[in-house]
Structure 1
């Protein structure tokens, strides 16, 4: 059974979260390991855990009083399209509401847009390129 946990950087599962992000997000586009952790110290971390293994992760970074950004969402390849991402998004959005954020934004790669739309996000603004990959601005109002 999959459980969602909110963890700190000092938690033993954080190393697994880092490894997952490196393997699923960074290496495939040629970025160095740990190359996208600049917000980790001020973010809330959510991990999907099955049998003591991190199989998914996402972080929530506060931007301003009413807005936060979903970043670094990754799910093990074998676990994709099985509801893990939906569980992570649900936990992140529930937490964002408790923090009284009005909106959560994200930068979605083209291939992830259907997932975010299915989970209530909408595209806004113009497409852009980030780290050499096409992205879209997306948001959900809480």
Structure 2
């Protein structure tokens, strides 16, 4: 897929475009309550976007836990761009950034339908215990960098 740009969000305009996509995916498609989608962690997280000349088509955030560990959260890909490698490329960009920052491990809570996607991108299931977040089943996963 051409004409895609992967970048770290540095401008408020891009952050708002990322939030718009998250609302579309998590609130609009998945029924997550609006008050749970945007949170205090957005202020301190590092946000990533994938954009075409027309729109932001992918986003996620990286929340630093400590000098060695971060959480990958709020990963969302615009519906018409799913299963086309956009999510894997975005995750790869996030992992590259994390390595350059000296992080050693990434954690995430994967929606159960997305576990295979994360496994294909090198993440491992930490526990088969289901975690319920915003009414959606998740599994804890990690990747050692």
Q: TM-score, normalised by structure 1?
A: 0.93
Pick the aligned partner of 1:87 from 89, 113, 119. 89
CA distance in 1, matches of 2:36, 2:68: 28
Per the alignment, in what secondary structure is the counterpart of residue 29 of structure 1? Answer: coil
How far is 1:18 from its partner? 0.5
Segments of 4+ moved more than 6 angstroms: none
Residue 14 of structure 1: how far off its partner (Å): 1.4
| Structure 1 counterpart SS, 2:73 | strand
What is the Cα-based RMSD across aligned positions, in Å?
Answer: 1.4
The answer to whether residue 55 in structure 2 is matched with residue 36 in structure 1 is: no
Give 3-state SS (helix, strand or coil) of 2:139's partner. strand
Describe the SS at the equivalent of 2:130: strand
Counterpart residue number, 1:25: 26
Unaligned runs of 5+ in 2: none
In structure 2, C-alpha distance between the alignment counterparts of 1:71 and 1:32, rounded to whole Å: 16
Equivalent of 1:133 in 111, 129, 136: 136
Question: How many equivalent residue pairs?
Answer: 141
* Secondary structure in structure 2 of the residue aligned to 1:39: helix
Is the 2:32–2:134 Cα contact (8 Å) retained in structure 1?
A: no
1:117 to 103, 113, 119: 119
1:3 maps to 2:5: yes
Shift of 1:52: 4.2
Give the Cα–Cα distance (whole angstroms) in 2 for the partners of residues 34 and 137 of structure 1. 19
Listed as ranges, the gaps of 5+ residues in structure 1 are none
Structure 1: distance between partners of 2:140 and 2:18? 24
Please say if residues 26 and 37 of structure 2, whose CA atoms lie closer than 8 Å, have aligned partners that are also in contact: no
Cα deviation, 1:24-74, whole Å, max 9, x if unaligned, reads: 013322411673332111111110011141000011000122110000000
